[in-house]
Structure 1
Amino acid sequence: MKMPVEGIKAILFDWDFTLAYTLQPEMSHIERTAVLFQHVGIRYPVADFRAARESLLADIALGRIDGTVKPQTRWEIMNFYRQMLIRLGHPDTSRELAYRIYIAYGHLPTTLYDDVVFTLQKLCQTDLVLGILSNHSTTVRPVMENLVGAYIPTAHITISEEVGVHKPSKTIFQRAANRLHTPAAQCLYVGDNLNVDAIGAVEQGLYGGGIWLDRANVGTVQDIPAQVHRISMLSQLLDFCS
């Protein structure tokens, strides 16, 4: 077997927009957010969500409020939801409601990408150990088990809310590797986020390699670690295993 880094024994995958997508693959972030809020009974026009998000991003950029334009941790995501509720003029802006929205994401209709089953089947024919590492709520675990449990054991799934840390923390990358009983240096991580997933796995998690799954075909990015590689379809991962 030829891997991008010698000695790779395990491959771990991100979940959202790597193995699976919620609702429709081409749906915009703001459209998906509107449906998510509707799932817990909060209904506003998509245009209102768009205006609320633009206001929030402007305030973050100007330093008026703490926050990030690309939240990863549970706190960051819940804070984003609370700020959206404020800007929508919703009467309830509590942490309790924000958490309900946070866990509701795992209940949205979820579908595997067309190239996932084929790729996992092929990888299962090798000696590689497979796992999942996802920044997500615990509500997504049954979905993962149902959709890919035939290829990835339950014990090999690491979810940020369950362990209390999030990517790109070194701790969660190493805990995920430990669940696969594989040293981090012998692990390869595949995800759609170049910085959090592919680069994070290498620079923070000390993984042997990171694969950026660029499904949007953004293109080549300069000045990335030598152990980080780009693919545009998950099935191209098999090229590293031939």
Structure 2
Amino acid sequence: MKAKEHITDLFFDLDHTIYDFDKNSALTFHAVFSDLKLEGTQDFMTHFKPINDYYWEKYAREEITHDFLRYGRLKDTFEAIDVNVSDEHIYHIADYFIENLTNYSHVFQDAYETLDQLKSKYRLHIITNGPEKVQEKKLKNSKLEHYFETVTNSEKAGVKKPHPGIFQYALSQANADPQNSLMIGDNIKADIHGALNVGMDVIWFNEFQLENADNITEIHHLKQLLDLL
């Protein structure tokens, strides 16, 4: 049964929701590790994922800078897999990662088909905590730009999700009312609780089927949005 009939504007997170950050990251790291002839990195991504999430949460709370995030997540991951890498190489890998991640353009399954259908019914937008230039390249290289009428990032808004200010900024840029707007994202704190706190409706992209204690409307695949919207 279709729901959410009052909705006119859909706001999406980018990384881990549309853009397959983990897959593209793995390809980027594989390339730089091969160049550096680093051994023992086969379990790197398994450890990097939760460590990266931890650093992004600290970044969202304004506890660390983006530069420290870039360094710290790598330093901690190499320590977790017991691979000795100099600070010089860590900074090199951090720079390489940012410069080359956008060369990979994998999106989640059915992303284009889903966005094609949703764009015919709603105005689509992006809200992201990622750096402006990097996110713009992701959208361009993944051929996602044309789907979205506005793109709000934390640099433009001056605050990061889940701060109400970034959602209010995005709503203002889109000339959208919160009661007619819906946020779709993977992060329960930054995307879902942040949007709820400004009066938006939400759908949680719960790819890994984590516990849904608040009984929030959720999907496990992007195409499921078409059953709800």
| RMSD, matched Cα | 3.8
Question: Quick one: percent identity of the two aligned structures?
Answer: 23
Alignment match, 1:110: 105
Classify 1:104/1:160 alpha carbon distance in 2 versus 1 (closer, same or farther; 3 Å): farther
Classify 1:85/1:17 alpha carbon distance in 2 versus 1 (closer, same or farther; 3 Å): closer
Distance across 1 between alignment mates of 2:163 and 2:35: 30
Classify 1:236/1:79 alpha carbon distance in 2 versus 1 (closer, same or farther; 3 Å): same
Counterpart amino acid of residue 70 in structure 2: M
Shift of 1:152: 1.6
Size of the aligned set, in residue pairs, is 216
Distance across 2 between alignment mates of 1:164 and 1:102: 24
Distance across 1 between alignment mates of 2:157 and 2:100: 18
Distance across 1 between alignment mates of 2:39 and 2:32: 9
Counterpart amino acid of residue 183 in structure 2: Y
| Unaligned ranges ≥5, structure 1 | 58-66
Alignment match, 1:197: 191
Which structure 2 residues correspond to residues 22-171 of structure 1 after superposition, within 5 A? 22=21, 24=23, 34-35=29-30, 38=33, 43-46=38-41, 49=44, 69-72=54-57, 73=59, 74=66, 77-81=69-73, 83-84=75-76, 87=79, 88-92=83-87, 100=95, 103-104=98-99, 106-126=101-121, 128-137=122-131, 138-146=133-141, 147-153=143-149, 156-171=150-165
Indicate conservation of the 8 Å contact 2:74/2:94, yes or no: no
Shift of 1:130: 0.5
Give the helix-richer structure, 1 or 2.
Answer: 2
Q: Deviations over 1:143-194 (max 9, x none)?
A: 30342123223xx112234544322121112222222111233221111222
Which structure 2 residues correspond to residues 188-227 of structure 1 after superposition, within 5 A? 188-203=182-197, 206-216=198-208, 218=209, 220-224=211-215
Distance across 1 between alignment mates of 2:227 and 2:54: 34
TM-score by length of 1: 0.70
Shift of 1:22: 4.0
Indicate conservation of the 8 Å contact 1:135/1:160, yes or no: yes
Distance across 2 between alignment mates of 1:229 and 1:68: 22
